[in-house]
């Protein structure tokens, strides 16, 4: 049985990838069983456990969450590829809750693999598990990460300071190398770069379709979607940081940020 688990990282086209999986799910229903948080709420048992582990390092709770998700997977997957996508399998993004990197992934992903192995232990022919990570050039990734973290009220670092402080988080090899060692032969690790995927017709989701070998004629019939969750306004994140520093009540802060995004994106669209 083939399983492809797209496990991160944040800000590497994951929202666009998951939107495409949702759009294509019916067309690929005979080929793949697809899970994302929006499509299958039961996945939150696993992703919630991974996020929690990245903060508290409680292994028992991590394993219990992964087991709860895996035990709820459909029995009738014979002949299909199981495709799962959530960047939260890697834990919370750096910059949140004092986290400086993705080192938690070296525990959360082996726990996910163990849960899948236990769930499908009776499957004839065993499991063929691939963990896919989408990556992005460090400078662009750090800026995008700053944008995302600046949406939360606790960030008070402007972009330049943030990128310097969290530069180590962009060293994905420092996580993926130890992860491969922890997994051994139980699962393989694959990577795809957003800069390459963005040039392809279907965008980031092509990385998954490459791994599961969706035939060319099937891909040609699938609709392409616009990219999601893009940062279109340069410098807006630093404006958010200024608001965060002002100590506004949370509701007022949220309204101010939403208003700024609407205005700036409207101005952007007029310039296009």
Q: Which two tokens stand for residue 106?
A: 């070296």
Do residues 179 and 256 both lie within one domain? Answer: no
Do residues 191 and 253 both lie within one domain? Answer: no
Do residues 125 and 146 both lie within one domain? Answer: yes
How many domains does the chain divide into?
Answer: 2
Tell me what the pLDDT averaged over the chain comes to.
92
Per-residue pLDDT tens digits for 166-222:
999 999 999 999 999 999 999 999 999 999 999 999 999 999 999 999 999 999 999
The range of the structural domain enclosing residue 205 comes to 2-228
Domain CATH number, residue 154: 3.40.50
Phi-psi region of 213 (alpha: psi -120 to 50; beta: other; left: phi over 0): left
Which residues fall within 8 angstroms of residue 193, CB to CB, at 6 or more apart? 134, 135, 136, 137
Do residues 57 and 126 both lie within one domain? Answer: yes
Per-residue pLDDT band for 237 (boundaries 50, 70, 90) equals confident
CB 84 within 8 A of CB 5: yes
Do residues 267 and 158 both lie within one domain? Answer: no
Residues paired with 193 in a beta bridge? 135
Q: How far is CA 153 from CA 77, 248, 257, 260, in A?
A: 43, 9, 10, 15
Q: Which two tokens stand for residue 191?
A: 């990577």
φ and ψ of 110, to 5 deg: -60, -35
The answer on pLDDT for 272 being more than 70 is no
Do residues 141 and 240 both lie within one domain? Answer: no
pLDDT given at position 129: 98
pTM (whole model) above 0.75? yes
Q: How far is CA 185 from CA 61, 71, 121, 180, in A?
A: 25, 23, 16, 9
Do residues 255 and 215 both lie within one domain? Answer: no
Do residues 216 and 95 both lie within one domain? Answer: yes
Kindly tell me the sign of the dihedral angle through the C-alpha atoms of 244, 248, 254, 259: negative
Per-residue pLDDT band for 229 (boundaries 50, 70, 90) equals low
Do residues 210 and 270 both lie within one domain? Answer: no
Do residues 76 and 169 both lie within one domain? Answer: yes
pLDDT given at position 267: 47
* Nearest one of 170, 126, 153, 152 to 9, comparing CA atoms: 170
The answer on pLDDT for 269 being more than 60 is no
Do residues 34 and 58 both lie within one domain? Answer: yes
Do residues 78 and 15 both lie within one domain? Answer: yes
The four Cα atoms 155, 15, 82, 76 give a dihedral, to 10 degrees, of: 100
Q: Which residue has the tokens 């208003």?
A: 259
pLDDT given at position 233: 56
Q: Look at residues 213, 228, 243 and tell me which one is the last residue of a structural domain.
A: 228
Provide mean pLDDT across the span 60-70: 98
């Amino acid at each position: 049985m083939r399983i492809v688990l797209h496990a991160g990282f944040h800000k590497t086209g994951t929202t666009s990838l998951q939107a495409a999986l949702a759009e294509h799910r019916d067309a690929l229903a005979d080929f793949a069983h697809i899970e994302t948080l929006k499509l299958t709420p039961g996945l939150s048992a696993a992703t919630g456990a991974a996020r929690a582990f990245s903060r508290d390092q409680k292994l028992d709770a991590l394993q219990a969450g992964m087991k709860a998700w895996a035990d709820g997977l459909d029995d009738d997957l014979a002949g299909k590829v199981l495709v799962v996508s959530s960047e939260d399998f890697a834990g919370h993004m750096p910059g949140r809750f004092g986290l400086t990197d993705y080192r938690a992934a070296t525990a959360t992903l082996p726990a996910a693999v163990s849960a899948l192995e236990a769930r499908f232990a009776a499957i004839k022919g065993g499991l063929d598990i691939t963990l896919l990570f989408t990556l992005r050039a460090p400078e662009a990734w750090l800026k995008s990460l700053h944008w995302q973290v600046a949406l939360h009220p606790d960030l008070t670092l402007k972009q330049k300071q943030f990128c310097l402080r969290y530069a180590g988080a962009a060293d994905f090899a420092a996580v993926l190398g130890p992860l491969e060692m922890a997994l051994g032969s139980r699962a393989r690790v694959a990577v795809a770069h957003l800069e390459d995927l963005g040039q392809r017709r279907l965008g980031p989701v092509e990385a998954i379709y490459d791994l599961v070998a969706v035939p060319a004629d099937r891909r040609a019939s699938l609709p392409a979607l616009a990219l999601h969750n893009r940062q279109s306004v340069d410098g807006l994140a630093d404006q958010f940081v200024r608001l965060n520093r002002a100590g506004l009540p949370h509701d007022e802060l949220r309204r101010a940020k939403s208003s700024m995004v609407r205005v700036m994106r409207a101005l952007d669209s007029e310039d296009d």
